[in-house]
Structure 1
Amino acid sequence: MKFSTVINIPKAPFELQPCEQMLFTGSCFAERIGTRFFEEKFRAMVNPFGVMYNPASVLHTVERVERPVDTLAMTLGTNRVYVEKSSGEIVDNCQKRPQSLFYERELSIDECVEFLSRAVEKALSRNANTKIIVTVSPIRYAKYGYHESQLAKAVLLLAADRLISLFPKIAYYFPAYEIVNDELRDYRFYEADMLHPNAQAVEYIWERLQPALLSEKARQFIQEWKPIKEALAHKPFNPEAEQYKTFMAATRNMAEALQEKYPEMELHLPEQ
């Protein structure tokens, strides 16, 4: 007997390696997933210029991040954009200027594909081996109305599908939207606002993501890093106790040994 609809998640046409240089840009859902990668010692930049909800703003982030990345992850939230009347340019943030200086419009599927394709091409111009992950945020936008929010998601889903077809060997759609709306179809997986997925939902998505995207080496690294991460998160009653100092010295040795095994790992240990 089954009590949920389990989404079939195909493997990506590529594999993520331990400690890869990654850029996550998009809605606040990108921040939740990107932070999870960061916690597992992937060298992840997460929305370095703030949350970007639409494909045009996602492109703007990719253009501004000059450093090449191994993986670009784009999470699409809405197809609605704000345009500055005087310049006709799409802005990422109104910077508290009067609303009268801007007007709002919706991007078409073709426009979304155009902005996202330019983002991919910009990433590839810096690293020809960049891998692309695309997701659609499961977060509904009450501001626009729930039906209107679903229409926006439909545009983004179609645009994401088109983008994958344009870059089939390097681009992959991960069904976070479908997992939340089909597998986790229960308000116990949401924050108090009943819109944002909670920590349990994010952790479930992380578990479902690993077999589809991570290499065996990356998953092995995560298992080796786990006891060190848990030890570093330990909060002692008495930091000056000899027992705790011995515990931290052993943890430091484990961490340094792991860094020797994975030289690309960025290790920031607390002061002794």
Structure 2
Amino acid sequence: MKLQTKIALESKQHNQIDYNSRLLLIGSCFVENIGNNLEYFKFQNLQNPFGILFHPIAIESLITNAINQKEFSEDDVFFQNEQWHCFNAHSKLSNTNKDTLLKTLNSQIQLTAKQLNSSSHIVVTLGTAWLYRFIETDTIVANCHKVPQKKFLKELLSVDEISESLESIVALIRSVNSSVSIIFTVSPVRHLKDGFIENTQSKAHLISAIHQVVEHKKNLHYFPSYEIMMDELRDYRFYAEDMIHPNNIAVKYIWEKFKEVWINLEAYKTMEEVDVIQKGLQHKPFNPDSEAHNQFIHRLLERKEKLQSVFPHISF
């Protein structure tokens, strides 16, 4: 008896992720769920250098600015609710000091440009096809930063507009890194503030547009995060308390599916060793001064040094 409908996954890819890979992850908050697992297992990765970016135009803007080495100035920031913000970035970068914000924006742009050039894999996660246009300047923003809604026009990107943006993203990336594998996915997080029907329409536009762009021969791939959550995990026990975000069990389940497709089998042994060390570092002893605990710490240090001798980039 089958109690679950399973999503068919791609077979193992030829350009899989191992401990020599460099990853850039950009997009919706779900990209951080995958990224946090990559971080835990000590893969080389950079997550959302401009914070969470929900729609494809915001992602395209970041990549464009990074490749063009844009330098942010006072014209690119504004003061609202006792903080300085930038419409191109998430509020996690906002700061009470204008100069600090500008310094952060420019350092993150440089970091993004460096990662675009050196990445072996780039994961792009789209969250919504809805966006907001700032009326005063007629520009699309990545984040409204709680500026009154009357100052924006809300728009739904068409399938063609999204696919054009994705094609532009691919072209921009390939202009500086021709061999990179690009993995697209759609966030399973529902944007219910837009409305139930509107959210469904938005996700449908994103999925349709991505499938107009992905092509294995061009090293452009799709990972079905959204479909796994909606179909394999279609039960509220897999959601957080808000009944919108996937809970830890769901995130772990989807990560295991991602690992099954994209992580090289030869990396599994290293991942197991990293996991042992991570759990050892989190261990809280009953008696920190005991001989047994000192021996435990010594063995843990030996394991760390042995692993770091093979992979110098790994740091705990």
State if a TM-score over 0.5 links the two structures.
yes
Match for residue 314 of structure 2 among 256, 266, 270: 266
Shift of 1:132: 0.8
Shift of 1:146: 1.1
Shift of 1:13: 4.8
Q: Is the 8 A contact 1:19 1:41 kept in 2?
A: no
Shift of 1:218: 2.0
Match for residue 196 of structure 1 among 237, 245, 251: 245
Over residues 106-163 of structure 1, what are the superposed CA-to-partner deviations in whole Å (9 max), with x where a residue is unaligned?
Answer: 1111221222222223333333221111111111111111111111111000111112
Shift of 1:223: 2.1
Shift of 1:19: 4.9
Aligned to 2:212: 162
Aligned to 1:250: 299
Q: Is the 8 A contact 1:25 1:61 kept in 2?
A: no
Which amino acid counterpart does residue 15 of structure 1 have in structure 2?
A: Q
Shift of 1:100: 2.9
5+ residue gaps, structure 2: 67-108
- Alignment RMSD (CA, Å): 1.8
- Greater CA drift, 182-191 or 20-29: 20-29
Aligned to 1:42: 43
Shift of 1:188: 0.4
Rounded to whole Å, the distance in 2 between the matches of 1:128 and 1:238 is 55
- Greater CA drift, 121-130 or 110-119: 121-130
Aligned to 2:144: 94
Rounded to whole Å, the distance in 2 between the matches of 1:219 and 1:93 is 38
Rounded to whole Å, the distance in 2 between the matches of 1:254 and 1:52 is 38
Rounded to whole Å, the distance in 1 between the matches of 2:4 and 2:55 is 31
Aligned to 1:235: 284
In the superposition, the TM-score normalised over structure 1's length comes to: 0.91
Rounded to whole Å, the distance in 1 between the matches of 2:290 and 2:133 is 59
Percent sequence identity over aligned pairs? 37
Rounded to whole Å, the distance in 2 between the matches of 1:54 and 1:109 is 13
Shift of 1:224: 2.6
How many residues of Structure 1 are paired with residues of Structure 2 in the alignment? 266
Rounded to whole Å, the distance in 2 between the matches of 1:2 and 1:79 is 35
Which amino acid counterpart does residue 50 of structure 1 have in structure 2?
A: G
Over residues 81-112 of structure 1, what are the superposed CA-to-partner deviations in whole Å (9 max), with x where a residue is unaligned?
Answer: 11122332211122333333321111111221
Aligned to 2:57: 56
Q: Does 1:223 align with 2:272?
A: yes
Q: Does 1:207 align with 2:265?
A: no
Which amino acid counterpart does residue 141 of structure 1 have in structure 2?
A: H
